[in-house]
A and B are shown apart, each in its own frame.
Chain A
Amino acid sequence: MKKLIAYRLVLALPQLALVSLLVFSLTYLIPGSPAAAILGVRATPEAIAQVEERLGLDQPALQRLGEWFANALGGDLGVSFASSLPVTDVILDRMPATLSLVLGGIVVALVFGVAMGVLAATRPGATDRAIAGATSVGLAVPEFWFGLVLSLLFAVQLGWAPIVAYTPFTEDPAGWLQGMILPSLSLGIGAGALIARQTRAAMTEALAAPYIDTLTAAGVPHRRIVLRYALKNAMVPVLASTGLTLRILIGSSFVVEQIFAFPGLGHLLLTSVIGKDFPVIQGGVLLIACLVIAMNLLIDVSYGLLNPKVRPQ
């Protein structure tokens, strides 16, 4: 297992390096003068010069790259234009809310998705068709729209205001959980439909496998075979594509948090994009990429736990 983790870590390094390089070159990709683009057409030459200096654009690119990497490794991602605070602090401040939301979303998605997928695969006919229809719609519903409808229903119509307020976990775990329900539901619904489809296909495959006959012929109860054996086998391909699902969830969380006034990364990034606060955008992209890479690593390792064949002997 340690070998597997080490191997995946080594694989993740070039990916991280490439992402860093991409993030670094973002400011060079701005057409024309980046400083002018950031400040707008009426900027004074002094202001432009000042911004160029802050972005380091007055120095040779290679030297800047070296400095940038060295600083990034030390956790220094520069200073926000808008707030003059260190980018790392600004972003890490928003991380808990985003992580809470993504965690809630993946829990909802897995619970709904796996349950629906198993149901569809084990009840052909009307149930299967109904779930197929529901997942098709689920895949088409924008997460933020579903969130808006939930908010309309619960906060506006029913007047359950506290249910749409975010409370940090460290302050009040019960309040945190309450505030998590609707956002998690709206975020998880689309990913849940995706997982339901994958689970259905994988379960159908698994239920037709010879080992199911072996266990049936040995007199093992059908329910146990479905839930312990077919399901675990089916989870192998489902888990393999969870990386994609998580990536979609993180992206969607940026939009969903707007509906529920969640103090996550989405709002920060949004204001930074509008205000052209490049240090924050760069830092955000880099840190989110690190987060995704770490999650992929975790998925790979749990994949190794689930599927003994990929474990190095």
Chain B
Amino acid sequence: MSETVSKTRKAAVPAAERPAGGSGAARAFGRVRRRPVALAAVVFLLLLLAAAVFAPLLAPYDPREQNYSSVLSGPSAEHLLGTDELGRDTLSRLVHGIRIALLVAFGSVGVAMVIGVPIGLLLGYRGGWWDRLGSRALDISDALPGLLVGFAVIAILGRGLLELMLAIGFIFCMSFARMTRAVALAEREKVYLDAAKVAGLRTPEILFRQVLPNLTGPLVVQAAVFMGSAIGVEAALSFLGLGLDAEEPTWGGMLSVAADEQARQPFLAFPPGLAIILSVLAFNLVSDGISDALGGARRKPAKRRARLGAKRTAEAAVVPAEPDALLEVRGVTVELEPPGGGRVPLVQDVSLTIGRGEVVGLLGESGSGKSMLARAVLGLLPPATRLASGTVLLDGREITGLSERELRAVRGRGISVVFQDPMTALSPVHTIGRQLSEPLRAHFGMSKAAARKRAAELLRRVGVENPESRLDDYPHQFSGGMAQRVAIALALAAEPRLLIADEATSALDVTTQSQVLDLLLELRDEFDMAVLLITHDLGVVAETCDRTAVMYAGQIVEVSDVRALFDRPRHPYTAALLAADPSGEVTDGRLPTIPGGVPLAGEWPSGCHFANRCAFSQEGCVAHPIPLADQVRCLRSADLTLGVVK
């Protein structure tokens, strides 16, 4: 039976969620060791502990010994850190103070855990009424400052070491109870507890054998922080005279003397103050280190976008701009530079031209690099990626390598973008009127009132009803389709010449999708703008586009008129894509698919990227990079006649 239980448990708990005991703790310790700051803090605390144990040996004098012949002396050879108002040696008091500080830190956190953890376990595990009432009771800690609780406990119990530990322990126990409750509640929901229940484990056994191990990590992190806090609270209470007797060497008591004697011996404030700061800091750093090691690493702020100073390929620079082209992308390569070093191409040597008022589709599976290309055009590449080479011309003007200020004029007015998810693409805490006004004010310098008026017009134009009143609504008050209309209005506000719709309809249901697409086409005519429609949906391309570029694994493999693309695909990938489209006719009752998968960035072959999935590949296909020749990137395009292969 027990055999079965342990097996069930192992099977039900994924490796990553397994309790942090045993090898997990060892691993966490290993990771702490690799953090120099946390390691230094651990070493400091161990030294502190050693100093506390050997305090009588380390201290040059008896910490309570008074010496009226040497009162309030500064640092000297006799008294390294000077003496206090009764001639007691500061260094000796400081060293003996470590004992009390650490004793109170460990004792009070111990008290807090002994009280808090069982309460939390009970509430979290029992749930229901127990939990509802208990949590309400825990909520009163939201109304009481910790120090006030300490005051009350000392008023009741009196002063003393044990009383101090209890007072500080009471302050912290609510936090432990809450944290334990949250973890227990989460664990309760997990499958393996049910499995354990079925297997006949009794409640206390489940609590201690299964929930507690999962609590270890958070508990240790919390305990370390609170030990630091306890030192601070102890110092405050001793400073106020509510801690131990003034005779006893406590850091807080020493500071109290320092405050009284500040006019006569200012130095007194520094040894105990620095001792408190360093110990609290050490506990906090250890806590941070453990927390990071357990996987809760803090998010690092992203580096500002690097200037888009791409090395222009010599070829790209000399070719003059095409007169009819609105946007010309030439030889654009985007690379990811992972923190570990190296470079991974995400987009490779992409060239694409969009004419004025033209609707061009950019078709590809996810991971083909089409969104990355759009971001490169806008100068919006995410952190750690950069435009490695290539050039982008808008109306014949180079826009790569522009300064932030120059780019600002291009963004919105020259090129604008609508992203996939309208809900995250709009700020949740600003009204849409406010957000719509931003590009109007930035590009046209409109007044608040004028921008608001224009924003309402834009909303009406994209089909939002009651636009004036809806200006004051927030994004979450709109449906997905309506929110996407708002996002389109935002992109249109500065009347761009090119609108990039990056999977702008993919998150919407089919009816809404075609409505939004129709809207885009209407707006194209009205605003006389070009549209680059990025999508993985063949239907969208067929419905809306004049011309289409097909992307595969970072490269454009074919560019052609939409009609020609569907009738006479020239690249085997395009043909396979058309064949796999479920909206096409299905002949043998099964959905056709392209065998294999898109190779991941970094694993692209040097030859044709599609060769390993291609039914027509030959030896020559894999030898060298294949250039885009006559709008198709295939060695065999001349000798293949590709219908829609079914």
Check B148 for interface membership: any CB of A closer than 8 A: yes
Across-interface contacts of A29 in B (CB, < 8 A): 156
Do residues B408 and A15 form an inter-chain contact, with CB atoms below 8 A? Answer: no
Which single residue of chain B is at the shortest CB-CB distance from A223? B404
Choose among A139, A152, A216, A309 the residue that contacts B266 (Cβ–Cβ < 8 A). Answer: A152
Across-interface contacts of B43 in A (CB, < 8 A): none
With A152-B269, A288-B148 in contact, is A211–B137 under 8 Å at CB?
no
With A18-B137, A221-B442 in contact, is A140–B262 under 8 Å at CB?
no
- Beta-carbon contacts under 8 Å, A138-168 to B: 139-142, 144-145, 148-149, 151-152, 156-157
- Nearest CB of B to A14, in Å: 6
Choose among B152, B276, B415, B430 the residue that contacts A285 (Cβ–Cβ < 8 A). Answer: B152
Do residues A258 and B277 form an inter-chain contact, with CB atoms below 8 A? Answer: no
With A152-B266, A214-B490 in contact, is A145–B273 under 8 Å at CB?
yes
Check A62 for interface membership: any CB of B closer than 8 A: no
Do residues B476 and A270 form an inter-chain contact, with CB atoms below 8 A? Answer: no
Do residues B262 and A15 form an inter-chain contact, with CB atoms below 8 A? Answer: no
A220 CA to B441 CA, complexed, in Å: 9
Check A122 for interface membership: any CB of B closer than 8 A: yes
Check B320 for interface membership: any CB of A closer than 8 A: no
- Nearest CB of B to A147, in Å: 9
A243 CA to B139 CA, complexed, in Å: 12
Do residues A19 and B232 form an inter-chain contact, with CB atoms below 8 A? Answer: no
Do residues B412 and A207 form an inter-chain contact, with CB atoms below 8 A? Answer: no
Check B425 for interface membership: any CB of A closer than 8 A: yes
A285-310 interface code vs B (CB 8 A; 1 in, 0 out) = 10011001100100000000011110
Across-interface contacts of B424 in A (CB, < 8 A): 209-211
Check A262 for interface membership: any CB of B closer than 8 A: no
A225-256 interface code vs B (CB 8 A; 1 in, 0 out) = 00001001100100000010001101110110
Do residues B145 and A247 form an inter-chain contact, with CB atoms below 8 A? Answer: yes
With A148-B262, A152-B266, A219-B442 in contact, is A26–B156 under 8 Å at CB?
yes
With A142-B232, A201-B298, A252-B147 in contact, is A15–B139 under 8 Å at CB?
yes
Across-interface contacts of A50 in B (CB, < 8 A): none
Check A281 for interface membership: any CB of B closer than 8 A: yes
Size of the A side of the interface (Cβ < 8 Å), in residues, is: 87
Which single residue of chain B is at the shortest CB-CB distance from A149? B269
Across-interface contacts of B410 in A (CB, < 8 A): 219
Check B15 for interface membership: any CB of A closer than 8 A: no
Which of B21-29, B109-117, B299-307, B613-621 lies at the interface?
Answer: B299-307
Across-interface contacts of A203 in B (CB, < 8 A): 301
Choose among B280, B413, B426 the residue that contacts A214 (Cβ–Cβ < 8 A). Answer: B426
A229 CA to B442 CA, complexed, in Å: 15
With A211-B424, A289-B144 in contact, is A124–B494 under 8 Å at CB?
no
Do residues A273 and B154 form an inter-chain contact, with CB atoms below 8 A? Answer: yes
Check A217 for interface membership: any CB of B closer than 8 A: yes
Check B411 for interface membership: any CB of A closer than 8 A: yes
Across-interface contacts of A128 in B (CB, < 8 A): 300-301
A307 CA to B158 CA, complexed, in Å: 46
- Nearest CB of B to A133, in Å: 9
Choose among A151, A219, A270 the residue that contacts B439 (Cβ–Cβ < 8 A). Answer: A219
A37 CA to B156 CA, complexed, in Å: 9
With A229-B430, A258-B240 in contact, is A15–B136 under 8 Å at CB?
yes
Across-interface contacts of A15 in B (CB, < 8 A): 136, 139-140, 142-143
Check A276 for interface membership: any CB of B closer than 8 A: yes
Check A73 for interface membership: any CB of B closer than 8 A: no
Choose among A144, A219, A308 the residue that contacts B408 (Cβ–Cβ < 8 A). Answer: A219
Q: Is the interface of A mostly helix, strand, loop or mixed?
A: helix
Check B566 for interface membership: any CB of A closer than 8 A: no
A105 CA to B438 CA, complexed, in Å: 35
Do residues B140 and A208 form an inter-chain contact, with CB atoms below 8 A? Answer: no
Check B185 for interface membership: any CB of A closer than 8 A: no
Choose among A151, A208, A221, A224 the residue that contacts B262 (Cβ–Cβ < 8 A). Answer: A151
- Nearest CB of B to A160, in Å: 14
Choose among B158, B281, B409, B474 the residue that contacts A37 (Cβ–Cβ < 8 A). Answer: B158
A248 CA to B424 CA, complexed, in Å: 35
Check B417 for interface membership: any CB of A closer than 8 A: yes
Which single residue of chain A is at the shortest CB-CB distance from B437? A220
Which single residue of chain A is at the shortest CB-CB distance from B263? A156
Choose among B255, B298, B421 the residue that contacts A210 (Cβ–Cβ < 8 A). Answer: B421
Which single residue of chain A is at the shortest CB-CB distance from B154? A273
Do residues A278 and B301 form an inter-chain contact, with CB atoms below 8 A? Answer: no
Do residues B143 and A204 form an inter-chain contact, with CB atoms below 8 A? Answer: no
- Nearest CB of B to A201, in Å: 7
A189 CA to B148 CA, complexed, in Å: 20
Choose among B143, B158, B259 the residue that contacts A148 (Cβ–Cβ < 8 A). Answer: B259
Which single residue of chain B is at the shortest CB-CB distance from A212? B427
Do residues B155 and A272 form an inter-chain contact, with CB atoms below 8 A? Answer: yes
With A149-B273, A306-B429 in contact, is A144–B143 under 8 Å at CB?
no
Do residues B425 and A214 form an inter-chain contact, with CB atoms below 8 A? Answer: yes
- Beta-carbon contacts under 8 Å, A9-39 to B: 14-16, 18-19, 22, 26, 29-31, 37
- Nearest CB of A to B492, in Å: 10
Which single residue of chain B is at the shortest CB-CB distance from A28? B156
A78 CA to B181 CA, complexed, in Å: 38
Do residues B301 and A229 form an inter-chain contact, with CB atoms below 8 A? Answer: no
Do residues B259 and A259 form an inter-chain contact, with CB atoms below 8 A? Answer: yes
Across-interface contacts of A233 in B (CB, < 8 A): 427-429
Choose among B136, B228, B259, B442 the residue that contacts A218 (Cβ–Cβ < 8 A). Answer: B442
Choose among A14, A208, A217 the residue that contacts B380 (Cβ–Cβ < 8 A). Answer: A217
A and B contact pairs by CB, cutoff 8 A, 17 listed: A137-B281, A156-B266, A211-B426, A218-B416, A220-B438, A224-B442, A254-B147, A254-B148, A270-B240, A273-B151, A281-B151, A285-B148, A289-B140, A292-B142, A292-B144, A296-B143, A308-B476
Cβ-closest 10 pairs across A and B: A219-B412, A251-B147, A251-B145, A140-B280, A140-B281, A219-B411, A218-B439, A218-B412, A308-B474, A289-B143
Extra pairs beyond A218-B493, A219-B410, A247-B142 (6, CB < 8 Å): A145-B269, A214-B425, A232-B427, A270-B151, A281-B151, A281-B155
